[in-house]
Structures are given as structure tokens and as C-alpha cells.
Amino acid sequence: MQYISTRGQAPAISFEDAMMSGLAPDGGLYVPSEVPQLSADDIRAMAGQSYEEIAFRVIRPFVGPEFSDDDLQGCIARAYAGFGHSAKAPVKQLAPNHFLLELFHGPTLAFKDFAMQLIGQLFQLSLSRSGKRVTIVGATSGDTGSAAIEAFRGLSNVDVCILFPHGRVSEVQRRQMTTPSEANVHALAVEGTFDDCQARLKDMFNDFAFREEVGLAGVNSINWARVVAQVVYYFTSATALGAPDREVSFCVPTGNFGDIFAGYIAQQMGLPIKQLIVATNRNDVMHRALTTGSYTTGVVAPTVSPSMDILVSSNFERALFDAYGRDGDAVAKDMEALKNGGGFQISQGALEGLQSTFVSGRCDEEQTLGEIKRMLEETGELLCPHTAVGTHVAREFLGDTPVITLSTAHPAKFPDAVEKASGMHPPLPNRMGDLYDREERVTRVENDLAALTQLIKERRGA
């Protein structure tokens, strides 16, 4: 299996190289040259299998010979051993034909742990063989950062530097990033938005001297390995509801478009998914793009679902690449227009292709809080605000086909919003009970590439 860039100007590389290098040198994102197929019988055989068994079956075809079957099975076993639920990603029924896929039983209480814990294992194996040292830089709107820190804290051959938007993450999210005491963890509070953090991260990847000097690696969903690990729970949940003999739809609270893109890959592999429903908060760029064809950014608004306060949805580039018939030049043109002018127009043919798979909806602040209250009253489930955006939008699409809404984070990560909406204070799990007592370590930094790269050079290996 080879990986090619969405901008068409970078050489094809292996899974391991794509994972360790992050962004392609032409600025594009890596995608597999072709998507492996699973037959209906392959999918049927998953019924009753463990999360780990299905993970191996789904991920194996994407991973090259550089990781043996034993390597991969070992990494998967270690990645999910610490999850707080035996099913890892349990499915619950909310209403007739509406289901919730709980993705918050990992160590940092958000869906990011599913991919990050696995990447952590694969990175360690790869680095132990190559003897290399890397500097992981991640951009986060709150959840990727803590998941990355958890996966890489204390490792001697890795520094992990996390850029988060100052004042725009929840207190729990911030403390998860600023309280780890390991010397290889560096939390950087950037004066800007998540989009600024992600743009600086991409600038760092495009600065080849810096990239080489620090051994830059990325663990955002820029990294293909993140996406592929997230494909697994689409299979586990759909087969739990009867796939491939019963079609399902998924509703995904969306920001950077990574999680829903993993659903698209599951569909491309052969999982019978009827619709992929993109649920956005007030920052509804993806909803507008998918309904009108016009991708225009504007100014990001802070919301009660801060992890989705994103206007430059990085992984949409991967979906566009397919919608444009894998024409890297067309993608590069749109991405240039987005960077320089804040938007682009999706061509009519490509838009129709996208609309045959993706539908969308939007949920504003009042609706999000109302949804948390409503779901608690009607189902007894206390949802995080991101998940509430999902269930609100999913309810517009309920019909004959079951809809699985992804529950992307634990409500305890967003206690203020949840309490405001429901009157209930969601407690942190016992193991995190002292989070508010731990000492914080964080550096404030301007949204400036030179300042950031200088700081990262000084901090790494410190």
C-alpha cells in the first residue's frame, strides 16, 4: 500500500513514512493510493468479535510490511488495554432508530484516544527501530492535545509540543494539557484561534529546514494513521446493529472533518452506510459548503462546544481530492484560494458527488443547551455539548434507517456548559479527581511562526 498526496506533487511513500512525516512536502495530505475492500462476508464475520479483532481486520490492509501481523496486534492490544469499558466503544439506544456510539472511555475522555493511543504504540515501535528522535507538534481546540500528551508523555525519544488557543478551551481540557509534569511535555497557549494554531503547524511543516532540524512529526488528523484508526469504530458499531445486512447512517459532530472522513473511508471499504451526517455548531462552514458549494471562512465564534470551533476543516481536502477525481492540481488551487482569500467554490460535479454521501445540519448555542436538557429528560443520558450538537442534527434525519450519533467526549470535560443546560454537575472520574489541584505549566506565545519555532527549538530536549 502506497500513500499519495492530495496535491499531486509529492512522491508516493509507505504507511510508516506517511505516519512519521505527517504533512506531504507539497503541502497536501496523504491518502492511500487505493482503498482496500472488505466483502459482505468479511464484514458479517465481524459480528461478535472484540474491538481489537475488528481493529486488526480493518487496519491491517492499510499498513505495510514494515509492521508485521504480530507487531500490529501487539500495538492494538496495548493501545486499548487501559480503556474504561470492556466494549471500548459501546453502542446505546436513545430512541427508535437513534443510537449513541460512546467514544469517551479512553484515558482523556474523548474520541481522540482511539487513534492517539494506537499511534503512540506505532511511533514507539518505529522510533525504537530507527533510533531517531522526533518533535511532535500538535494543534488543538482542546481534545487532540491532551490525547497526544497522554500517548507520548515521558518518552525519551519524543518531545510533544501542543499549541492551543489561549482562553478558548474548557478548564478541564486546559488542565489536562498543562498539568502533566514530564519534561518532554510542552503546552503552548497561542494568542489566536484553533485555525491559527493549525495554520502555524502547517507553516512549520512547510519550513523544511525547521522540519529537518527538529525531526518534526504531527499527530493531528493531518496524519493518515489517525484517520485509519478512527475507521474501526464505524465497523464495530454498524456490525453491532446488523451490518452488512442492515444499512445504517452516522451523525458526526464535526470540526476538522477527520472523524467523519474516517466514516467515509469505512463506506469506501464496503461498509453499507446510507448517509454521513455532518453536524456543525454555529461555526457552520461545512454545513454551508455542503449545501451551497461555497466554502467561505469568516470569523470563528466561541461556543459551548469549543472543540468544534473550527473554520478551516483540514480533512475536507481529502474528500475534495476524491470529489475532483483525484486531481491534485484542482485541490491545490482551492487550498491556495482558501489560504489567500478565505474561500473557494466547489465545482458543481464535485458538489453533487459530495452530496451523494454527506448531508449536514447546524445547531446553535441555545439549541445545544436545549438538547442536553432534552436528552437527559427523555433518555437519562447526560451528553457533552459536542455530542448534543450531533443528536440535535441527527433527529432531523431520523427515518427508516438507524442513525448512530458519535458521542465524542465525556460531559465532565465541559462541566460549565453541561451544568448550565441540565442543572447537573458531571463529575470527573476518580483517577482525575485531583485535576484542579495539580500545578499548571504553560507558556503564552504570540501567533507568530518565528516565535513559535524558536520556542520549540529551545524547549525540545530541555
Ligand X SMILES: Cc1ncc(COP(=O)(O)O)c(C=O)c1O
Ligand Y SMILES: N[C@@H](CCOP(=O)(O)O)C(=O)O
Cβ–Cβ under 8 Å, residues 265 and 241: no
| Residue nearer to ligand Y on the CB measure, 168 or 274 | 168
Asked if 31 contacts 318 with a C-beta cutoff of 8 angstroms, the reply is: yes
Give Cα 24 distance to the centre of its chain. 18
Q: How far apart are CA 219 and CA 144, in angstroms?
A: 8
- 289 in helix, strand or coil? helix
Kindly give the pairing relationship between strand 403-407 and strand 98-102: parallel
> Does 220 help bind ligand Y (rule: CB under 6 A)?
yes
Q: How near is the Cβ of 455 to ligand Y at its closest, in Å?
A: 20
Q: Which of 113, 143, 150, 322 binds ligand Y (CB under 6 A)?
A: 143
Out of 126, 144, 170, 368, the residue judged to bind ligand Y by CB under 6 A = 144
Q: With binding defined as CB under 6 A, does residue 237 bind ligand Y?
A: no
What number of other Cβ atoms are within 10 A of residue 450's Cβ?
9
Question: Considering beta carbons, is residue 184 or 267 the nearer one to ligand X?
Answer: 267
Q: Which is nearer to ligand X, 165 or 258 (CB)?
A: 258
Q: Which of 5, 108, 193, 256: binder of ligand Y (CB under 6 A)?
A: 256
The alpha carbon of 461 is separated from its chain's Cα centroid by a whole number of angstroms, namely 27
Give the pairing type, strands 30-32 and 98-102. unpaired
Q: How far is the CB of 42 from ligand Y (least distance, A)?
A: 27
- Contact flag: residue 307 with ligand Y (CB under 6 A): yes
Tell me the pairing of strands 273-280 and 30-32: unpaired
Residues that bind ligand X (CB under 6 A): 110, 142-143, 221, 253-259, 307-308, 386, 408-409
Nearer to ligand Y, 275 or 314 (CB): 314
Q: Which is nearer to ligand X, 5 or 230 (CB)?
A: 230
Residue type, 356: S
When binding is defined by CB under 6 A, the residue of 106, 255, 361, 402 that contacts ligand Y is 255
Q: Does 422 bind ligand Y (CB under 6 A)?
A: no
Q: HSE of 146 in the Cβ direction (CA atoms, 13 Å)? A: 26
| Nearest distance from C-beta of residue 452 to ligand X, angstroms | 21
Q: Cβ of residue 222: shortest distance to ligand Y, in angstroms?
A: 6
Residue 254 interacts with which of ligand X, ligand Y, none, CB < 5 to 8 Å by class: ligand X
Please say which residue, 6 or 141, places its beta carbon nearer to ligand Y.
Answer: 141
User: Which of 27, 180, 258, 361 touches ligand Y by CB under 6 A?
Assistant: 258
Active-site residue flag, 112: yes
Residue 35 CA to residue 158 CA, distance in Å, equals: 31
C-alpha to C-alpha distance for 78 and 64, rounded to whole angstroms: 20
Instruction: Output the smallest distance, CB 212 to ligand X, in A.
Output: 29
**Residue 458 CB burial class (10 angstroms; 0-12, 13-18, ≥19):** exposed
User: CB-wise, 210 or 257, nearer to ligand X?
Assistant: 257
Residue 195 contacts residue 456 (beta carbons within 8 Å): no
Instruction: Please report, as residue ranges, which positions from 112 to 131 form the binding site for ligand Y (by CB under 6 A).
Output: none
Least gap, CB of 106 to ligand Y (angstroms): 13
306 binds, among ligand Y, ligand X, none (CB under 5 to 8 A by kind): none
Read off the C-alpha cell for 82: 487501559
Give the C-alpha separation, 365 to 114, whole Å: 28
140 binds, among ligand X, ligand Y, none (CB under 5 to 8 A by kind): ligand Y
Select from ligand Y, ligand X, none the partner in contact with residue 220, using the beta carbon and a kind-dependent cut-off of 5 to 8 Å.
Answer: ligand Y
**In residues, how long is the chain?**
462
Q: Are 337 and 344 in contact (CB under 8 A)?
A: yes
Residues 6+ apart with CB under 8 A from 281: 253, 303, 305, 308, 309, 362, 363, 364, 365, 368, 386, 389
Of 66, 130, 72, 79, nearest to 107 by C-alpha is 79
Among 121, 135, 140, 368, binds ligand Y (CB under 6 A): 140
**Catalytic entry in 88, 92, 112, 132:** 112
What residues from 4 to 63 belong to the interface with ligand Y (CB under 6 A)?
none
What are the catalytic residues? 112
* Contacts to ligand Y by CB under 6 A: 140-145, 220-221, 255-256, 258, 307, 314
